[in-house]
Amino acid sequence: MKSLRIEEYGGVDVLQWKESPQPQPGPHQVLIKVDAAGVNYADIMRRQGNYPGPDLPATLGLEAAGTITELGSDVADGRLSVGQKVMAMGPQGQAEYVAVNANFVFPYPDGIDPIHAGGMPITFLTSYHLLKSRGALQAGDTVLIQAGASGVGTIAIQLAKEWGARVVVTASTEDKLELCRSLGADVAINYTETDFEDEIKSLTDGRGVPLVLECVGGPVLEKSVRCVASYGRLVSYGNASGQPANLSAADITTLNRSVIGFSMGRSPIGSLDHQGAMQELAPMIMDGRLRLIVDRVLPMAQAPDAHRHLASRGTRGKVILTP
């Protein structure tokens, strides 16, 4: 089979779509013939050597969708079967075949596009856990979503509205802001033209918002903390800028704000209910209340183009690769 491999860390030139050994499923795994795999910013960080993963050489990817071709010896709960269409969350998914722990495999019905399914697991589950499991969003809350036009941002907007929240987003262009509005955002701020911290204070009469979802890091994280209301929460789930943040204790303690970290890739098995979350999301996906926004679909051989596009922050939604 072929897979998207890196043998050293570096720029996009280290990405190789090449022949590699086909994985064999372990006792608790299933083997999936891949239809599509999503690209996440973590893939860029992994390529650069800034994200944990298997020793090199290794295959990239954190999510995929396809057809089960083999079950591990201990996968016998009746939920999964050979020939079943599934989406999966796990390492090394950007390949023709991937072996994944059955706990992170989710059957999906025929109504879902199999290519889109490859970009759903990380994005949908991250959005769910940011808002609900970690962010404790309540109906009537206002949530500030940084990078609203990103893969996670576009899903988080839809979910927050579904759960009764008022949604404020930031993005860098009018095109991205219009996408956010079309998905239900109540307020859309162009952070290149307007100071979002000042805007949040103006919108809330200086009180701030109960919840902020933040993935940029650096100065954006510092300013975002000051947008949190008394006893509110900021959930940090990335550092796309690559810049360090200097958080003032006074900005956190004085108003009893909480700063919460979140990572799908580093969450221990069992600490988050992924199966329950996906079951709750499934009806919303099937009836169109929740939809994946696909920026572009590329062959895995064109992964360097996908990485360049994602790193340029030009994406509107999800980038997906196909074998």
For residue 143, the model assigns a pLDDT of: 98
For residue 242, the model assigns a pLDDT of: 80
Question: What is the arrangement of strands in the sheet containing 258-261, beginning at the earlier edge strand?
Answer: 187-190, 166-171, 142-145, 209-214, 228-236, 258-261
Identical fold between 2-120+293-322 and 123-261: no
At position 11, the amino acid (one-letter code) is: G
Cα–Cα dist 41/216, whole Å: 11
What's the first-to-final CA gap in the chain, in angstroms?
10
For residue 63, the model assigns a pLDDT of: 96
- The answer to whether 53 touches 91, Cβ cutoff 8 Å, is yes
Domain boundaries, the chain: 2-120+293-322, 123-261
| Strand 63-71 with 258-261, pairing | unpaired
CB atoms closer than 10 angstroms to residue 45: 18
For residue 316, the model assigns a pLDDT of: 85
3-state helix, strand, coil in the chain (%, to 5): 30, 30, 40
Locate all alpha helices (DSSP H) within 183-271, ordered by sequence: 196-203, 218-225, 249-253
Q: Tell me, which fold does domain 2-120+293-322 have in CATH?
A: Quinone Oxidoreductase; Chain A, domain 1 (3.90.180)
Cα–Cα dist 120/64, whole Å: 8
Q: What is the pLDDT of residues 235-267, one digit of tens each?
A: 999 888 888 899 999 999 999 999 999 988 655
Cα–Cα dist 269/248, whole Å: 33
For residue 51, the model assigns a pLDDT of: 83
For residue 68, the model assigns a pLDDT of: 97
For residue 202, the model assigns a pLDDT of: 96
Residues of the chain falling short of pLDDT 50: none
For residue 267, the model assigns a pLDDT of: 55
For residue 265, the model assigns a pLDDT of: 66
Indicate left, alpha or beta for 305 from its phi (over 0: left) and psi (-120 to 50: alpha): alpha
For residue 269, the model assigns a pLDDT of: 58
CA within 13 Å, CB half, 153: 29
In the numeric block, which tokens belong to residue 67?
């057809």
Longest dimension (CA), the chain: 59
Give 166: exposed, middle or buried? Use CB within 10 Å, 0-12, 13-18, 19+: middle
| Strand 63-71 with 29-39, pairing | antiparallel
For residue 249, the model assigns a pLDDT of: 93
Cα–Cα dist 17/302, whole Å: 8
> How far does CA 130 lie from the centroid of its chain?
10
For residue 239, the model assigns a pLDDT of: 85
For 123-261, CATH gives 3.40.50.720
- The answer to whether 38 touches 94, Cβ cutoff 8 Å, is no
